[in-house]
Amino acid sequence: MKILNAPISNFSVRSVKSIVWLMLTVIFGLLPPIFLVWIDAQLTNKNFPFEEFVKNGSFMFFATALVASVTIDHILSEKYSRTSKEWNSFEILAFIIFPMLTLLACVILFYIPYYQPELNTDLLWKIELYILLTTFIYGIGVKFQAFK
């Protein structure tokens, strides 16, 4: 019976660790910009300027930093150090292609509002939310693998 429960238990522990890691990263990563915007809104007696928060790219900087930290953590981790310098397909996708695509998407989304001031903020927010959710799934997946 213990043999059957071991993989499930390991899966559960790794899943919980990955989700807790993501929650703490989101809290500590997004709390400062949200707090600053909230303080600004309180001091100026204006409503929370969510549109400006979306347009200034705070979420995209966070997504880029999250992907960069996961990638660098994986590359520099002693757990993954090995004598072979060859990368497998998963590593190429997760630590070269995905970070580059995320960086490219974030840079494009950062500059779009400057060239199109009449941009629909709802559309921009939906795209940023998609990138954030994809980044969160990426982070959970990579950390799940790391917590073996």
Assigned token pair, 106? 């974030």
State residue 140's pLDDT score.
Answer: 93
State residue 82's pLDDT score.
Answer: 60
CA atoms within 13 A on the CB side of 105: 21
State residue 86's pLDDT score.
Answer: 75
State residue 35's pLDDT score.
Answer: 83
State residue 80's pLDDT score.
Answer: 58
Alpha-helix residue ranges (DSSP H) falling in the chain: 2-44, 50-55, 58-76, 89-92, 98-115, 121-146
State residue 36's pLDDT score.
Answer: 78
Average pLDDT of each block of 10 consecutive residues along the chain (148 residues)?
51 89 90 80 76 79 91 76 71 90 90 79 88 93 86
Choose among 75, 55, 67: nearest CA to 29: 67
Instruction: Identify whether the C-beta of residue 47 lies closer than 8 Å to the C-beta of residue 41.
Output: yes
State the greatest distance between any 2 C-alpha atoms of the chain, in Å, as a whole number: 63
State residue 3's pLDDT score.
Answer: 44
